[in-house]
Structure 1
Amino acid sequence: MDSELLISCRFQGKILADSNSMIDTRDKWALADVSYEIKPDISFQHVLGFGYSFEPTSCYNLMRLPPRARHEVLSLLVDPARGAGLNLWRLCIGSPDFSYKFYSYDDLPGGETDEHLDRFSIDEDRRYVIPVVKEALAINPGIQLFASPWSPPAWMKIPEPHWRKGTLEERIGGNGMCSGRLDPRWYDAYATYFVKYLQAYKAEGIDIKAVTVQNEPHHNWVLMPTCWWDGENERDFIRDHLGPKIQQSGLATEIWCWDHNWGQIHPARYPVTVLSDPGAAQYVSSIAFHHYDMVHVSNMGKFHSMFPGKHVQFTEGSLLWLWGAARLAAYLRNWSQSYVGWVPFIDTNGDPNIGPFKTKRTMLQPVVPGAEPVIKEAIPAPHQYPVDPALLDGGPFKAILARYDYYLLAHYSKFIRRGALRIKSTRKMPLLGGEVSFKNPDGSIVSVITNRRRVPMRVHVALHGRHYRFQLPARSIATLHLSP
């Protein structure tokens, strides 16, 4: 097999640097800090993709860029040759917390209802989200999309005191979308709301692969769009309303259940309630997880063992620094078909963002004049600022910053293709190391190895009787790509 080794180490000024000359291929085992054998004949889950979110905050900033600069930034994100090749993107059904305003597709004056959804409209998405998605699809037609709501329209909701964060007096904006639960009398109308969204986007030339019923259904906060769901409610909604309506519409859109932290998988908990019901389970293809409770990642693997016929997806949670790159290997080793981060393009003022979770850091950032970014992980200038500043002339930003996190994710997303199979790799991995291996549809092998230690790590990889030895610098990541 022909070999390709790419290493990123910010302390050595290396970003996806060609390091093939470092490989020693003598046919014998040797002393190493990490030794593992790749076994392509033993496989696990397929890969669906890697990506981020096209939520209102990022799309608003992207649409403020001059057209050529926007094309460059989107190419950095989705182009598999020129950029990271991110090919799985999350959309929001209505607005999430990261937005310039809170809205649904059927906002009404207080006291009014719209049972037949006569006033349904996605016009707000046509301002920023839809143009960005269309341009991204033009650059990479292989992108797939899934979508999640943060709240139904306010007129469909009733108060919910369970685990509510904050008081009603603290409520801001949102036309009643902040906190509460869906009134069961509107289950059928809300299922129609989903179908109308899918059909409206399809009419725009945008197909949605999957939907989740609710982003973080055990989140009930008055400061942002949220909606409380119990497992029993989602079970009934999928079984009796959403599943049948999507099927009757002729759409091929999948349903992914849960869409919250992986700590909630005890048999008495929410996602098990949904999937233990055959009527609901027939419509559900995957369970979606977030990582914010930081319970051990092996819970995803345990869930796969409970329901081996359902796929596992990781649908929200950004991974930062080398720690995050190593953790991503663990997510993939625990049966996730995907990795999707959250908010790729907020400006250096942290705008726009009217929600309660504030940040001034994303993997790519437009730099606002006078709001210089805090950079704790400096990398060589051509990689730190990858867009020609001349393309930004006439716009509100003076530079586009790429953080180290962007390149760390690219070590996975540029090389592991959709449809790749995770394969067995026997290993003795030291503390602060991480590794995961895949076989691409073209037969090539990809192994991603991280070294979080303060000292170099000697690596020895065996495949089909051939040996590949190299030294991984301190605090670095490597992608070993072996072509058939």
Structure 2
Amino acid sequence: MQVWLSTANGEKQLARETDLAFDVSPNAGTVIDIDANKRHQAMIGFGAAITDSSAWLIDKHMSAAQRDKLLRELFGRGDGGLGIDFTRLTIGASDFSRAHYSLDDMPPGQSDPMLAHFSLTPKIAGTGAEEVLPVVRAALAINPRLKVMASPWSAPAWMKTNGSLLHGTLKYEYHTAFANYLVKYVDAMEAAGVPIFALTVQNEPRFNPPDYPGMLLSAGARLLLIGQQLGPKLAQRERAPLIFDWDHNWDIETEPLALLADPLANRYVAAVAWHCYAGYVDAQTRVHDKYPDKDAYLTECSGGDWKPMKDDGLLTITRRLLIGSVRGWSRGVLLWNLALDENHGPHAGGCRDCRGLVTIDSKTGTYTRTVDYVALAHASRFVRPGAQRVESSEGNKDIDNVVFRNADDGSLVMIVANSSSASQRFVAHEAKRAFAYTMPARSVATFVWR
């Protein structure tokens, strides 16, 4: 059995440890029972969002050689690659754009219901949007299996009640135009060589950002938009993206439940997308238990310089996302920015202390890997697309785990986190064999065996 270990104090980061041997009955400790024949959801993958800021830094602040090296490390799997198989794009600007824009901006007082002025290239130059397509296409060339989802932060201003990208909500008379806007985006991206795997209709629809694009969109508005407009339009297509609802925190599970209770909208929604910033991960399981035919995805969680992420990122990301969200039926896990600079940017409003998977020095183009990268690697390097989560008992209050079976070679991958300030010993039983391991204080380990 192969073992990779990381410790929260940074002394070990993805360190290959001495291989373990199986035994019939090792000394007892915390017991984890694994039933590899009892299989659950199949995984799409793990990754982070290619925001405008991330793409701009990669394309404009790195040499061709630096850029190629970074993208191969992030999206490749061999030679220590991170193995990203899942990513997210923004439809128009987010706070991690260099300016605010939509894909169909019009002068104040004018509208464009036929979307004659729609363009993937914003009218405002230098937003970072121009660099997204080249970076995504380069990532797809490295990993053709990469799944790309996309989310809008706001409808174009002329579709909204306040005529602004900030605040407001979607006017009912523009539901058709907004659905067509999203379909037009899918078509344009497909034509540009980037097939869209899934869409949400609004990022964080219950949040009203003070200084970057956002749009309140109630469950009632979403169910009408999806059930009457977007769902039927996409259903006519041979290769339509999936529709995910919610795309917001664990704390208001009544929102996706209200939409899924509507028979028409339910018909078109494939999954519920979740964010990590409020509430508790067990909301995912409660929603899944009520609608077991709907998948779950963790579509955004950012590291950064705030507690617990600042000084506990390794354990927080592993326990809450890679283990907790996946045990709560997630088929994919996405962190937020793929890359940011040494000043946590660039950004236009919003988060001033977020962290990417890598930090790119905007002067030299060199990059450093963050703790978010290390945590994600414990899953993304070893769990391949199509792997299924298998049954495993929960351990104890300090020891968390999740186990997968890779579809291509039958190998088992077990991720274990010890959040205690003391070392913890556990014994894992699988079939008629077992192994024991003592986890150092505040550490994460990945175990791989066939």
Question: Could you say which TM-score interval applies, normalised by the shorter chain?
Answer: over 0.9
In structure 2, give the amino acid aligned to 1:143: L
1:48 equivalent in alignment to 2:32: no
Please identify the structure whose Cα radius of gyration is greater: 1
Partner of 1:197: 185
Aligned 8 A contact 1:327 1:434 in 2: no
Aligned 8 A contact 1:326 1:433 in 2: no
CA distance in 2, matches of 1:291, 1:182: 25
Partner of 2:119: 121
Please, which of 312, 316, 331 is the counterpart of residue 300 of structure 2?
316
Partner of 2:358: 364
Partner of 1:151: 154
Deviations along 1:28-59, one digit per CA (max 9) or x if unpaired, are 14122x22121011122221211110111111
Aligned 8 A contact 1:158 1:182 in 2: yes
Partner of 2:25: 28
Aligned 8 A contact 1:348 1:361 in 2: no
Please, which of 469, 472, 478 is the counterpart of residue 436 of structure 2?
469
In the TM superposition, what is the alpha-carbon distance from 1:454 to its structure 2 partner?
Answer: 2.4
Q: CA RMSD in A?
A: 1.7
1:417-436 equivalences in 2 (<5 Å): 417-429=384-396, 431-436=397-402
1:257-406 equivalences in 2 (<5 Å): 257-265=245-253, 269-293=254-278, 295-318=279-302, 320-328=313-321, 329-359=323-353, 361-368=355-362, 396-397=363-364, 399-406=366-373
CA distance in 2, matches of 1:418, 1:66: 31
CA distance in 2, matches of 1:95, 1:306: 34
In structure 2, give the amino acid aligned to 1:448: I
Aligned 8 A contact 1:4 1:481 in 2: yes
In the TM superposition, what is the alpha-carbon distance from 1:11 to its structure 2 partner?
Answer: 4.6
Aligned 8 A contact 1:318 1:340 in 2: no
Secondary structure in structure 1 of the residue aligned to 2:35:
strand
Aligned 8 A contact 2:97 2:129 in 1: no
Deviations along 1:332-367, one digit per CA (max 9) or x if unpaired, are 111111111111211012221111221163231012
TM-score (norm 1): 0.86
CA distance in 1, matches of 2:375, 2:255: 33
Q: Quick one: structure 1 residues 203 and 445, their matched pair in 2 at CA, closer, same or farther if it must change by over 3 Å?
A: same
Aligned 8 A contact 2:160 2:169 in 1: yes
Partner of 2:88: 90
In the TM superposition, what is the alpha-carbon distance from 1:455 to its structure 2 partner?
Answer: 2.3
CA distance in 2, matches of 1:190, 1:345: 30
Aligned 8 A contact 1:347 1:365 in 2: yes
Q: Quick one: structure 1 residues 300 and 244, their matched pair in 2 at CA, closer, same or farther if it must change by over 3 Å?
A: same
Partner of 1:130: 133
TM-score (norm 2): 0.92
In structure 2, give the amino acid aligned to 1:276: A
Q: Quick one: structure 1 residues 428 and 106, their matched pair in 2 at CA, closer, same or farther if it must change by over 3 Å?
A: closer
Q: Quick one: structure 1 residues 360 and 288, their matched pair in 2 at CA, closer, same or farther if it must change by over 3 Å?
A: closer
Aligned 8 A contact 2:66 2:366 in 1: no
Partner of 2:74: 77
In the TM superposition, what is the alpha-carbon distance from 1:95 to its structure 2 partner?
Answer: 0.9
Deviations along 1:434-468, one digit per CA (max 9) or x if unpaired, are 11111110211111011122222222111111121
Secondary structure in structure 2 of the residue aligned to 1:181:
coil
CA distance in 1, matches of 2:320, 2:257: 25
Q: Quick one: structure 1 residues 4 and 191, their matched pair in 2 at CA, closer, same or farther if it must change by over 3 Å?
A: same
Q: Quick one: structure 1 residues 45 and 213, their matched pair in 2 at CA, closer, same or farther if it must change by over 3 Å?
A: same
In the TM superposition, what is the alpha-carbon distance from 1:398 to its structure 2 partner?
Answer: 5.5
CA distance in 2, matches of 1:348, 1:221: 24
Aligned 8 A contact 2:418 2:444 in 1: yes
CA distance in 2, matches of 1:411, 1:93: 30
Deviations along 1:99-134, one digit per CA (max 9) or x if unpaired, are 101111110100111111111111247621001000
Number of residue pairs aligned between Structure 1 and Structure 2? 432
CA distance in 1, matches of 2:13, 2:225: 47
Deviations along 1:350-409, one digit per CA (max 9) or x if unpaired, are 2211112211632310124xxxxxxxxxxxxxxxxxxxxxxxxxxx32631112321121
Q: Quick one: structure 1 residues 222 and 475, their matched pair in 2 at CA, closer, same or farther if it must change by over 3 Å?
A: closer
Secondary structure in structure 2 of the residue aligned to 1:182:
coil
Percent identity between matched residues is 33
